Structure 1
Amino acid sequence: MGGKTVVTKRPWIGTSWKMNKTIREADAFCETLRQSDWSRQSDAAQLFVIPPFTLLNRVVIALDETDVIVGAQNAHWEDAGAWTGEISPVQVKDCGGRLVEIGHSERRTFFNETDETVAKKTASAVRNGLTALVCIGDTLEEYEAGKTAAALKRQTLAALSLVNWAGGAKVIIAYEPVWSIGEGGTPADPAFADEQHARIKELTAAELGAPLAVLYGGSVNPTNCVDLANRPNIDGLFIGRSAWKADGYLGIVSDVVASLA
């Protein structure tokens, strides 16, 4: 691929590795990504990678000369203290992280995170100059009961409730239906996802005066990525296992950007 690619919108396209990858596997991923032209085309798409804490600084260093944003999968709401096993936003920033994923459904389900703790973590990340990537999503029960909109409204308003917006706060929302996440998850219909994104953007615009960017995550794959990314209210993709191999990730980036050109 030569030259710059001009796109009709600039999507965020990223992946969280969750509890995966050794040092050697991370190095191989970063080497492939670093050699790709896409890692230096932030005008076409904003790429981001969220490794586990054990690899955060190493990935930051490996991708230092690229436009790829590197983030952490979680951060505590306190800057320091007696919180055994936790990582603070100050430590994330010290490692070179620029973004923090907050409130993923796995954190809410298995580690008892609540709307209140998500709000505290969002405010803390922003206070420390990090971009907060806040995950929200409806459960299967809420979806089947027609309560998706109410669930997303509650989670969104809670997450934003403690943020100090005076200092150029950076918050992005990721809509990830709980029923679509993980192995065996059912991808949301792109039209349904776009409808939820429109509601979230309308809600954040009413609260803040301008809409926040909203990414879609939940069984994103090479088959549905282009349809999702081309929906008017979907500002990017947050990809799981389909992007855990660098070639798979870059394939999705290439297809999405080409479709938007």
Structure 2
Amino acid sequence: MKKIWVGTSWKMNKTGETAQDWANAVSTSVKNCNAGVQPFVIPPFPYITNVVSHFSDTKMKVGAQNMCWQDEGAFTGEVSPVMLKDCGATLVEIGHSERRGLFGESDKTVNQKVRAALKHGLTPLVCVGDSADEKQWGVSIESVVRQVKIALFQVPLAQVSQVIIAYEPIWAIGENGTPATNEEAEGVHQAIREALSRQYGEPIAQDMTLLYGGSVNLDNASELLDQPNIDGVFVGRTAWQASGYLELLSIAQSKANSTVKEPC
């Protein structure tokens, strides 16, 4: 059985001190985490090394919020996969809707970054999502599946299952976002899984990790994790406080305890 993933991206929040406070507060629980749960955290670039160091003796995965598709060069302000590896990061978030909407990230650059991440042994966590208009027009599934297919373009078959897909409906993200219902979230996840199965075969599709993100909170996390095609949650502000993250971790562990999970 697959592990349940529980993670958060801090976006452009926290300082070195508050990042350390968060790490200190969750450290013990992460060390004692159920083998069936995979915790992860994605801090801002300046704090990656310190967070990695803090969790070095735990199963916590630490990632970055973005990267360039090139190893080096005249790309002012960018960070390369080589640099991320040097900082100790093991995964990288790619294609978040804020990156797409505010900074011009395209489906093409998402694909370039996915392939670059895999080349350097980083786990790509690819964010895909539909807009409020696309939801109203009834084309959410078409839009999301298209993003998934382009993200995986020319990824070697042996590496496809290393890519994590996070469905994050744009209309559900942020302080004023409206969480997707269990049925809405599961419906899109099922469509992604079915598209992956058609493209790569059922074994690879079932092996892939699909996460839900978009106003995940302590009230809806449990039922979201009960959905058959949702393998974990990618959480925003609810997990920025250590207490919230610990409660989410506890929810996931209770789910893992009820089934047989793979060893660490």
> Quick one: structure 1 residues 162 and 233, their matched pair in 2 at CA, closer, same or farther if it must change by over 3 Å?
same
From 228, 234, 241, the equivalent of 1:232 is 228
Query: Hey, what does 2:262 align to over in structure 1?
Result: none
> Structure 1: how far apart are the matches of 2:127 and 2:31?
24
> Structure 1: how far apart are the matches of 2:107 and 2:159?
23
Query: Hey, what does 1:16 align to over in structure 2?
Result: 9
Report the Cα offset of residue 143 of structure 1: 0.4
Query: Hey, what does 2:19 align to over in structure 1?
Result: 26
Report the Cα offset of residue 206 of structure 1: 2.0
Report the Cα offset of residue 168 of structure 1: 7.5
Identify unmatched segments of 5+ residues in structure 1: 1-7
> Structure 2: how far apart are the matches of 1:97 and 1:187?
29
> Structure 2: how far apart are the matches of 1:97 and 1:229?
26
Report the Cα offset of residue 173 of structure 1: 0.1
> Quick one: structure 1 residues 80 and 40, their matched pair in 2 at CA, closer, same or farther if it must change by over 3 Å?
farther
- Show CA shifts across 1:168-188 (max 9, x none): 762000000000000010000
2:119 is the alignment partner of 1:127:
yes
Query: Hey, what does 1:4 align to over in structure 2?
Result: none
From 191, 198, 216, the equivalent of 1:220 is 216
> Structure 2: how far apart are the matches of 1:9 and 1:168?
16
- Show CA shifts across 1:94-113 (max 9, x none): 10000000000000000011
Name the % identity.
47
Q: Does the residue aligned with 1:163 lie in a helix, a strand or coil?
A: coil
Report the Cα offset of residue 20 of structure 1: 0.5
Structure 1 outlier segments of 4+, above 6 Å? none
Query: Hey, what does 1:148 align to over in structure 2?
Result: 140
Report the Cα offset of residue 204 of structure 1: 1.4
Report the Cα offset of residue 45 of structure 1: 0.6
Q: Does the residue aligned with 1:154 lie in a helix, a strand or coil?
A: helix
2:94 is the alignment partner of 1:98:
no
2:58 is the alignment partner of 1:62:
no
> Structure 1: how far apart are the matches of 2:34 and 2:117?
23
Higher RCO (C-alpha 8 Å, min separation 6): 2
Report the Cα offset of residue 258 of structure 1: 1.4
Tell me the number of residue pairs that the alignment of Structure 1 and Structure 2 aligns.
Answer: 253
> Structure 1: how far apart are the matches of 2:108 and 2:181?
30
Report the Cα offset of residue 167 of structure 1: 5.6
Report the Cα offset of residue 192 of structure 1: 1.2
User: Contact 2:34–2:253 (CA<8 Å) still a contact in 1?
Assistant: no
> Structure 1: how far apart are the matches of 2:160 and 2:108?
22
> Structure 1: how far apart are the matches of 2:152 and 2:32?
32
Query: Hey, what does 1:136 align to over in structure 2?
Result: 128
Query: Hey, what does 2:196 align to over in structure 1?
Result: 204
TM-score, normalising length from structure 2?
0.92
From 179, 182, 195, the equivalent of 1:190 is 182
| 1:51 aligned partner, one-letter code | P
User: Contact 2:92–2:117 (CA<8 Å) still a contact in 1?
Assistant: yes
- Show CA shifts across 1:213-243 (max 9, x none): 1100000000000000011110000000000
Query: Hey, what does 2:105 align to over in structure 1?
Result: 113
Q: Does the residue aligned with 1:133 lie in a helix, a strand or coil?
A: strand
> Structure 2: how far apart are the matches of 1:114 and 1:55?
27
> Structure 1: how far apart are the matches of 2:154 and 2:119?
10
Report the Cα offset of residue 73 of structure 1: 0.3
User: Contact 1:120–1:162 (CA<8 Å) still a contact in 2?
Assistant: no
> Structure 2: how far apart are the matches of 1:99 and 1:40?
22
| 2:70 aligned partner, one-letter code | E
| 1:258 aligned partner, one-letter code | S
Report the Cα offset of residue 162 of structure 1: 2.9
> Quick one: structure 1 residues 152 and 183, their matched pair in 2 at CA, closer, same or farther if it must change by over 3 Å?
same
List aligned pairs for 1:31-50, cutoff 5 A.
31-36=24-29, 38-41=30-33, 43-50=35-42
